[in-house]
Amino acid sequence: MNWAIPFFPYPPSKPGFWSPVTSTLNWCEEDYYATVYSAEIVNTLTNLLFMALGVKGIISCIRNQHDQIFLVAYLGYLVVGTGSFLFHTTLKYPMQLVDELSMIYTTCLMVYASFAFSRPTGVRVAIGVSLSALSVFITLYYHYLQDPTFHQNTYALLTIVVVFRSMYTMEKTLRPKWRKSREEDRLEKEKRGLPVPSKERQHFENVRDTKLLATMWCMVGYGLAMFLGGFAIWNLDNHFCSDIRRWRRQVGLPWGIFLEGHGWWHIMTGIGAYLYIVWGIQLRHCLKGQQDDYHLHWARVWHIPDVVRTAPSSKGANSQQKKLS
């Protein structure tokens, strides 16, 4: 059956500006068919979303005065996108290391943010040293093995650890039934000489946090769906590469672009990873009791969320009086 929609035939692959390929991975997209200056043009350009969201996150961190660990995390996120851009442009082994190892380092930063918050200085130092040593070990061992499966499994394990830890922390912090009873909380605050919230204020906080918790769980589900969906598409791309290449040539350009599975992986994991950092920022503000000072702005599921600082007028004397009443 002939493809009825107008299309341009795929150009043949040709020697490229960055030849020869030295990376240990080469994806299903054919090399140098669009331009001699980019080995995998779709896999390259889909990283622009990573880079744009990285810049957006950095600007948001500076503007809204989020903790500096998240500014560093966004810088790492930007390095991941830039490294992947360079890797798929050149298919050179050094660029592959920039791409893959920056994923490990950025995830280790999020592990530190999750486990070290509000811990004594000695514990924070121990966690930081341990994660640094782990990063060095992964770097050296991966360079020795040059086995992409080791990198993928390590990245997946680190991500699972930090996501489940953050889920536990979120529930414990925001779910009213998991907190201390109101009387226990009142007695502890009285003992420490802290203001005791009124029943009305306690009810307000419970309703506020329950609504926020529902939004944050929605973000978790959406982010996981992006990660798992992108992983599934990428695996189909790996297992059925010869068939997919044939289908691409049958439908031609630009329609064949939509069959680039690794490109979809970039888009979907870029969104998923960005959602996770935003989620981590909001969770940190909740741990610091700043739910009234910061707002998780996410109007629609298809919008890019952000944690924004509340307008100064809403944090003035009246707001402080409410907290203490």
Residues annotated as binding site for Ca(2+)? 27, 29, 40
State the DSSP H helix or E strand holding residue 308, giving kind and residue range, or none if neither. strand 306-309
What is the spatial distance between Cα 154 and Cα 132, in angstroms, rounded to a whole number?
Answer: 15
Q: How many helices (H) and strands (E) does the chain have?
A: 11, 2
What is the spatial distance between Cα 298 and Cα 281, in angstroms, rounded to a whole number?
Answer: 14
Under a CB-based contact definition with an 8 Å cutoff, are residues 80 and 46 in contact?
no
What is the spatial distance between Cα 245 and Cα 248, in angstroms, rounded to a whole number?
Answer: 5
What angle (nearest 5°) sits at the alpha carbon of residue 271, between those of residues 266 and 273? 90
What is the spatial distance between Cα 3 and Cα 248, in angstroms, rounded to a whole number?
Answer: 11
Residues annotated as binding site for Zn(2+)? 88, 262, 266
What is the spatial distance between Cα 275 and Cα 264, in angstroms, rounded to a whole number?
Answer: 17
What is the spatial distance between Cα 250 and Cα 244, in angstroms, rounded to a whole number?
Answer: 10
Residues annotated as binding site? 27, 29, 40, 88, 262, 266
